[in-house]
Amino acid sequence: MQVLALSYHHLPQHLKLCFLYFAIFPEDEVIFVDKLMELWVVEGFLKAEETKSVEQVAEKCLNDLIDRSLISIHNLSFDEKLESCQMHDVTRELCLREARNVNFVNVIREENDQNPYSQSMCFSSKSRGRISIQLINMPDDRVIEEKLSRYPNTVVSSIICFRMLWSMPKLLCFKLLRVLDLALVKCDAFPNGIIDLIHLRYLALSLSPGVERYLGEEIPSSIDIPLSISSLCYLQTLILNLPHSKGYQQREKKYPLILPSEILTMMQLRYLLLDWNYFRFHEPTEERLVLRNLQCLSGWNPWYCTKFVFRLFPNLRKLQICGVKEDYCSCTDPYDFRDLDQLEELEFHLYYSFLPVCPFFLESTPSDYLRFMERERPSLTLPTVYYFQPLVLPPVDAFPQNLKKLSFSMTFLRWKDMSIVGQLPKLEALKLEYRACIGEEWEVVEEGFPCLKFLCLEDLNLEYWRASCDHFPCLERLFLEECRFLDSIPRDFSDITTLALIDIRRCAESVGSSAKHIQQDIEENYAGSIEVHIRDPSKEVMTLRCLTSLTDMELRQILHRFLYQCINWCCISTISLFDSSCILICNNSSNKMIKILVHSILFH
């Protein structure tokens, strides 16, 4: 403890503030780095330097704390970026002690908390105005309001809730709030009183709509964001979430956010993280402004991926595009990224909807909008086959030329489309997950991926991967997860001298064996070292490969049994088993009816 205390006391002032901020988080909390650094920025701890953006300054501060052993790494992304961090118990005790000494934060928690330092921070009239709600048991609203009433209205500047609450407590009396994080509080509608909190820099909400009846079933009502949100002129981070499905038995119905185009007049916005959304007008209003501070835009609808719109975001660094299939298919001028000179990370993601979808604009009232529902996978009980047209990629010159990281999820691309991706001149990281590409065979074209360092393939139905070392000359880290039917890693990868890690999870044992052969070849031929991690090998796939020798009648009986189990039991493990076995039946059976049936269930 003395060594850590000495390390803390030698920190410069801005690093001390960044370290003390960890006292806001509950014990053993996994802290996501993007959120942490954004909170540092809006709190005013950090400022941009002459040659560094404020994001780069924040990243350096976090690395400094890690290098001094005050913070520990929890998880890295597949491209070696820091995703989350944690604080060791001993370091946390130091953090709480120092935070108490300067009245850094007030913590609302259970009265029986045993930690003397955290208990002493439960209330202080000298606090700097930060409130952290860490109640574990679901309290009555009156309990929260009684605890909040102890704090003077004029000193509270930050409220962050780390535990689920069923309703939003009365917070509107705190007129000087700069940070309001209610991402774990269920709000039936956008709380209009928030508009009066004009000093807000950071706002995170979870909007859970009420329930109506539509076509004989319960559906959520609309989520309408008021035009007056633009009055929050100091807002730097805006996060609007909708409830997500949890497992196959608890699919929650989902409705898109209806946004006012006035959001595009909020000049201070740096992070705009949205759930599935549409603008009230198809085109932004004439009052549109260039948002030069915008760094990260998540949940952007494909409808608005046009050259005209992207000119509004000249300094955008991260972009996630999300929508239903109709959004992707109905674009007249999609995916022109040429004006996004600073864009480094791009992601495409698709939502499923149970009902037919069409765009809607101001002429309709909220109650007239079509109802939507997100699905984690197609329903097993749908009476009709659901077809999806694969995402059409733009030509390579329409992509941002400084792009370093590209991700696809549920986009149903053809493997041949990867030839476009391979031409991106600075692409270093590629992630393909959950039906990002369809087809059993990926034969990499001659040009390959000359600059790619990190490759992640997850939950794909890929079986044969045809590639050589020349296609991935700079590859350093290869991740394979739940590629249950992949036969092996190309043996020629043993000649990729830069390869340092192969990480395999829930794949066939033959994939792990091929990775070990590659490891052995590299060690023998190049005197190099490579790490191979194999976790949870899928014996299920090897066991089910015996189905190839069965007759069509036997296959029909097995298929019928799995269908019965999945529809009536609806358990995740059964669906996983059904997934694997039926794909194998489909790939190996000569009966076309079985192939059509299985593919309609699994992929449409």
Give per-residue pLDDT as tens, 245-277: 443 333 344 677 888 888 989 999 999 999 888
The region, left, alpha or beta by phi > 0 then psi within -120 to 50, assigned to residue 294 is: beta
Structure confidence at residue 377 as a pLDDT band (50, 70, 90): very low
pLDDT at 418 over 80: yes
Give per-residue pLDDT as tens, 97-117: 999 999 899 888 766 555 554
pLDDT reported for residue 255: 73
CA distance 498 to 504: 18
- 192 or 478: which leads in pLDDT: 478
Q: Are strands 345-351 and 429-433 parallel, antiparallel or unpaired?
A: unpaired
Q: What is the mean pLDDT of residues 340-368?
A: 62
Cβ(194)–Cβ(180) under 8 Å?
A: yes
Q: Tokens for 591?
A: 């009966």
Q: What is the mean pLDDT of residues 155-183?
A: 81
CA distance 145 to 509: 56
Structure confidence at residue 190 as a pLDDT band (50, 70, 90): confident
What percentage of the chain carries pLDDT values higher than 70?
A: 71
Instruction: Report phi then psi at 466, rounded to 5.
Output: -100, 110
Q: What is the mean pLDDT of residues 564-580?
A: 40
Q: What is the mean pLDDT of residues 235-246?
A: 80
Q: What is the mean pLDDT of residues 202-214?
A: 73
Q: Residue 511: helix, strand or coil by DSSP?
A: helix
Q: Tokens for 35?
A: 């959120």
Q: Tokens for 317?
A: 């660094």
Structure confidence at residue 238 as a pLDDT band (50, 70, 90): very high
Upper half-sphere CA count for residue 603 (Cβ side, 13 Å): 23
pLDDT reported for residue 215: 47
- Exposure string for 109-121, b = 16+ CB within 10 A, e = fewer: beeebeeebbbeb
CA distance 437 to 414: 6
429: exposed, middle or buried (Cβ count in 10 Å: 0-12, 13-18, 19+): buried
pLDDT at 345 over 70: yes
Q: What is the mean pLDDT of residues 448-462?
A: 94
pLDDT at 196 over 60: yes
pLDDT reported for residue 3: 79
Structure confidence at residue 127 as a pLDDT band (50, 70, 90): low
CA distance 128 to 150: 14
* Averaged confidence pLDDT in the chain: 78
Q: What is the mean pLDDT of residues 133-137?
A: 78
Q: Tokens for 196?
A: 């009066």
Residue with tokens 């014996």: 539
Angle at 161 between CA 267 and CA 168, to 5 degrees: 85
Q: How far apart are the first and last CA of the chain?
A: 57
pLDDT at 572 over 60: no
Give per-residue pLDDT as tens, 43-91: 999 888 888 889 999 999 999 999 999 999 999 999 989 999 999 999 9
Structure confidence at residue 539 as a pLDDT band (50, 70, 90): low
> What is the DSSP track for 13-24?
HHHHHHHHGGGG
pLDDT at 359 over 60: no
Type of residue found at 381: T
- pTM, two decimals, is 0.81
CA distance 468 to 265: 50
Q: Residue 277: helix, strand or coil by DSSP?
A: strand
Q: What is the mean pLDDT of residues 420-436?
A: 94
CA distance 544 to 582: 9
Upper half-sphere CA count for residue 191 (Cβ side, 13 Å): 19
Q: Which of 124-128, 300-304, 410-414, 488-492 has the lowest mean pLDDT?
A: 124-128
pLDDT reported for residue 180: 94
Question: In this structure, is the dihedral angle defined by the CA atoms of residues 104, 109, 111 and 116, taken in order, positive or negative?
Answer: negative
Q: Which of 407, 406, 452 is nearest to 428 (CA)?
A: 452
Cβ(506)–Cβ(535) under 8 Å?
A: yes
504: exposed, middle or buried (Cβ count in 10 Å: 0-12, 13-18, 19+): buried
Give per-residue pLDDT as tens, 551-571: 666 666 666 555 554 444 333
Which parts of 351-465 fold into alpha helices (H)?
418-421
Count Cβ atoms below 10 Å from residue 533 Cβ, excluding itself.
12
